[in-house]
Amino acid sequence: MSRSLRRVLTFDFSNQPFSIEAYIPASARTCPQPGGFFPHGSLPSSSNLPGGCTADIVHRFYQEQYQINHGQQNRYVTGSDAVGLSMGYYDTTKLPIYAYLHNDGAPHYAIADDLFQSAFGGSFLNHQWLIAAASPVWPGAPDAQHSVLDANGFPNAGYPLYHPATPVSDQRVTQACGLTTTVAGFACGDYAVNTIQPAYQPFRGSPQLPAQRGATIGDELTAAQISWAWYSGGWSNAEGDVGAPGWTNGTTGTCTDPYSIPNPTYPARLGGPHPPAGRAGLPRPRQRVRQGLQAQLGQLCQAHRARERAPWLHQRESRQ
C-alpha cells in the first residue's frame, strides 16, 4: 500500500458521510467502456472513460432490510460489499439536469417526496411494482434459486464486514417456506425479488423468469380508454427509426449493434402471435413499428444491455 493511500485510509475518513467528489472527481477515468462493467469499481486508467465511476452499491431485497434495521438505518456499511463507500454522497445540484429543471424556461415538474420506493431492493422489483403493483412469481422455482438466510435475515457470506454463523445463499427468489432453514419474519415463497433475466428478448444468460400474466398499469389504462406509450432503452431500434437518436442497427439490413442479439420472432401468446399490450415480456408493438422494423432489418434486433432493465410505462395523452 502506498504512503499516500495509507494516509487517506488512516486520516481522511471518519465514521460520517463524506463527499465522493473530493476523492474521485467527475474527470477521473474510472468508468468502463460501453458493454463493460466494473462491479467493484476500477482504479483510474487511460483505457477507461471519464466520469468518476465508483463501485456498484449493493441494492438487494434482503440486504436492504438488514441495512434499514427497523428504521435505525445503521447497517449500511456492514451489510454491503462496498462497505464505507455507502457513506459517500454527491452534490446533485451540480448535475446538468438540476440546472435545467431550475431554469426559467424549464417545464414544471413535481417530486413524489411521499413515496421513496414500493419494495425493498433494487430497480428490478420496484419496476415490477410500478407497472403491476405486485411481485413477479416463479411457481416451483428450483431449490438453487431460493435464498437462504441466517438468523438476522441476511443472505450473503462474501461481504468484508459481515460473517453469518450459518450457511446462506444470496439468490434471485425469496427463501422457501416451511423448511428448517426458513427464518420467521422474512418473506418466503416463490417471489422473484432480485434481478433476473426475462423470458423474452432482450436477455443475457440464465436463469430466466417465466412469463408473467398479471394485470399491469397498461391494462388498467386501456380498460379506462386512456392512451399510453411504452419507452425504454433501444426504442429507436425497436421502432425502426433509422438514424434517430439511439439508433445503433446500421443501414445494411443486418443488425450491427455489437451489444445486440437477434430475435427473429415475437413472443407467442394464446390466441395470437403477439403478447397483449402491457403484459410482461414485450408489449405489443404498433402495426407500423412491426412493419417498419421487419422491412428494414428482417428481424427484431433489440439493443442489448448488460444489465437487464424492466420497461417503463408513461402516459402520453389522456382523454377524460
Domain check: are 111 and 128 in the same one? yes
Domain check: are 52 and 65 in the same one? no
pLDDT band, residue 29 (cuts 50/70/90): very high
Q: Are 293 and 260 in contact, with CB atoms under 8 Å apart?
A: no
Higher-confidence residue of 201 and 133: namely 133
Q: Is there a domain that residue 92 lies in? A: yes
Domain check: are 63 and 44 in the same one? no
Domain check: are 92 and 189 in the same one? yes
Domain check: are 192 and 105 in the same one? yes
Domain check: are 65 and 192 in the same one? yes
Higher-confidence residue of 201 and 216: namely 216
Domain check: are 73 and 160 in the same one? yes
pLDDT band, residue 260 (cuts 50/70/90): low
pLDDT band, residue 270 (cuts 50/70/90): very low
The three grid cell numbers given for residue 13, joined into one nine-digit string: 475518513
Q: What is the mean pLDDT of residues 29-39?
A: 88
Q: What is the mean pLDDT of residues 58-83?
A: 94
Nearest to 83 by CA among 94, 60, 67: 67
Range of the domain at 179: 59-196
Would you say residue 122 has pLDDT above 60? yes
Q: Is there a domain that residue 230 lies in? A: yes
For residue 255, the model assigns a pLDDT of 63
Domain end among 196, 227, 251: 196
- How many angstroms separate the CA atoms of 52 and 22, rounded? 11
For residue 296, the model assigns a pLDDT of 33
Domain check: are 72 and 175 in the same one? yes
Higher-confidence residue of 177 and 275: namely 177
Domain check: are 177 and 264 in the same one? no
Q: What percent of the chain has pLDDT over 70?
A: 70
**Residues 137-188: tens digit of each pLDDT:** 999 999 999 999 999 999 999 999 999 999 999 999 999 999 999 999 999 9
83 DSSP assignment: G
pLDDT band, residue 116 (cuts 50/70/90): confident
Assign 3-class secondary structure to 107-145.
CCCCCCCCCCCCCCCCHHHHHHHHHHCCCCECCCCCHHH
Domain check: are 177 and 282 in the same one? no
Q: What is the mean pLDDT of residues 30-55?
A: 90
Q: Is there a domain that residue 9 lies in? A: no
What number of CA atoms fall less than 13 Å from residue 106's CA on the CB side? Answer: 12
Q: Is there a domain that residue 319 lies in? A: no
pLDDT band, residue 78 (cuts 50/70/90): very high
Domain end among 130, 161, 196: 196
Higher-confidence residue of 135 and 263: namely 135
Would you say residue 266 has pLDDT above 70? no
Domain check: are 66 and 119 in the same one? yes
For residue 96, the model assigns a pLDDT of 85
Structurally, how many domains does the chain consist of?
Answer: 3
SS3 228: coil
Domain check: are 295 and 177 in the same one? no
Q: Is there a domain that residue 51 lies in? A: yes
